[in-house]
Amino acid sequence: MNDIASIGRLYGLGSYIEMLKIFAISTLIMLLSACGGATNDASLIDEPIIIKFPHVVAPGTPKGQAASRFEQLVEERFPGRVDVEVYPSGQLMTDDDSLEALAFGEIQMIAVSLSKFDRLTQAFQVFDLPFLFSNIGAVENFQASIEGQELLEALVDSGFLGLAFWHNGMKHFGAHRPLRLPNDAQGLRFRIMESDVLQAQMEAIGGNPQKMAYGEVYQALQTGAIDAQENTWSNIYSSKFHEVQPYFMLSNHGYVGYFVAVNEQFWETLPNDIQDGLSEIMAEVTEWGNARSIAINDESREKILATGRAEIIALTDQELRAWRTMVHPVWEQFSDEIGADLIEAAQRSSN
Ligand code: LMR
């Protein structure tokens, strides 16, 4: 430009060239700021925040219903600003893959069974101790206690921030033959979730535990790759296990519930009003879904019976005592890993 200016001055065109320079520079600045501004504004105004939320069970289950309600309320309260994409029934990925995807920020939210966090924390194993919680009320007391609430932040170092615990319900055994006493389970191949406590539980009753993704259980039962499994009525019914497994025992021996978590970095980048709004909605949905979970499981049990394809066997107090006694050593086995204090807090909630 200096050369052009000196040529211009040489030909008596100094002020004209100066004007051209000013015009060119200001046009360039306007163009650059217009481009930059347009990009920022578009990302703020046009593009909603996406929350990808995969899970592995059917939409009608306690978790399926809670996830849909969360989606609905968020989109009603933040139209065009937040878009929740729920992927049920393992459409997008397995639970195992979702833990990795959440850590890497490929998805933003999960509701994964508490039994599946072994490789990240041992504290959640408390929920798997057999016969520790006598019912959902006991679990709820524990989750609401100081010790329970602290668990929501147990995985922050791994990048997961817990927002809530959602219930499914109490677990029951299912097998290709009636299991009235632990001896009946001798040698059976039991599908279990990814949990060392559940593995020890099945070994304690003489079973042969096989860790397996939820989406594979139906086929494994159907082909005889496994003989038995444990789950809630809503999972058994919605995944049709009763069509390929004729006997269920009302064993009530454990809990299935979920750690509902977001990617912590994603959460921290949310505008304050959205963060507050999502927390409020999560609290509402948790209360709504947890209250419904018992009814959904009761209805599912009735529907299984109504199909006439499976028998549900009630166990006597004496039979239940035999199961309880057989698996009780598992508590001691995992006491150090889980923390004796945490187990005591859970026991207090049950009383
Ligand atoms: C299972 O794998 O059996 C459960 O965790 C599935 C679920 O999400 O309820």
**Helix/strand/coil (H, E, C) string of the chain?**
CHHHHHHHHHCCCHHHHHHHHHHHHHHHHHHHHHHHHHHHHHHHHCCCEEEEEECCCCCCCHHHHHHHHHHHHHHHHCCCCEEEEEECCCCCCCHHHHHHHHHCCCCCEEEEEHHHCCCCCCHHHHHHCCCCCCCHHHHHHHHHCHHHHHHHHCCHHHCEEEEEEEEEEEEEEEECCCCCCHHHHCCCEEEECCCHHHHHHHHHCCCEEEECCHHHHHHHHHHCCCCEEEECHHHHHHCCHHHCCCEEEEEEEEEEEEEEEEEHHHHHHCCHHHHHHHHHHHHHHHHHHHHHHHHHHHHHHHHHHHHCCCEEECCCHHHHHHHHHHHCHHHHHCHHHHCHHHHHHHHHHHC
Model confidence pLDDT, tens digit, residues 205-264: 999 999 999 999 999 999 999 999 999 999 999 999 999 999 999 999 999 999 999 999
| Contact (Cβ atoms closer than 8 angstroms) between residue 232 and residue 169 | yes
User: Which pLDDT band, with edges at 50, 70 and 90, does 30 fall under?
Assistant: very low
Mean pLDDT of the 339-349 span: 96
Q: Tell me the angle at which helices 196-204 and 317-327 cross, rounded to the nearest 10 degrees.
A: 120
pLDDT over 60 (residue 94):
yes
pLDDT over 50 (residue 333):
yes
Instruction: Identify the pLDDT of residue 133.
Output: 97
Mean pLDDT of the chain: 90
Distance 96 CA to ligand 1 centre (A): 11
Model confidence pLDDT, tens digit, residues 57-76: 999 999 999 999 999 999 99
Distance 5 CA to ligand 1 centre (A): 75
Q: Tell me the angle at which helices 136-144 and 272-307 cross, rounded to the nearest 10 degrees.
A: 170
Instruction: Identify the pLDDT of residue 27.
Output: 43
Instruction: Identify the pLDDT of residue 351.
Output: 75
User: Looking at ligand 1, which residue's alpha carbon is closest to its atom 1?
Assistant: 214
User: Which pLDDT band, with edges at 50, 70 and 90, does 160 fall under?
Assistant: very high
Give backbone dihedrals phi and psi of 316, rounded to 5 degrees, phi first.
-75, 165
Atom of ligand 1 nearest to the CA of 115: 5
Distance 238 CA to ligand 1 centre (A): 11
Model confidence pLDDT, tens digit, residues 95-145: 999 999 999 999 999 999 999 999 999 999 999 999 999 999 999 999 999
Choice from 86, 214, 233 to test ligand 1 binding pocket (greatest atom count within 8 A of CB):
214
Instruction: Identify the pLDDT of residue 350.
Output: 82
Q: How far apart are CA 139 and CA 137, in angstroms?
A: 5
At a CB cut-off of 8 Å and minimum separation 6, what does 235 contact?
57, 61, 168, 214, 241, 256
CATH architecture of 2-348: 3-Layer(aba) Sandwich (3.40)
Pocket of ligand 1, beta carbon within 6 A = 56-57, 63, 113, 168, 193, 214, 231, 235, 256
User: Looking at ligand 1, which residue's alpha carbon is closest to its atom 2?
Assistant: 214
Instruction: Identify the pLDDT of residue 45.
Output: 55
Instruction: Identify the pLDDT of residue 85.
Output: 98
Per-domain residue ranges of the chain: 2-348
pLDDT over 60 (residue 6):
no
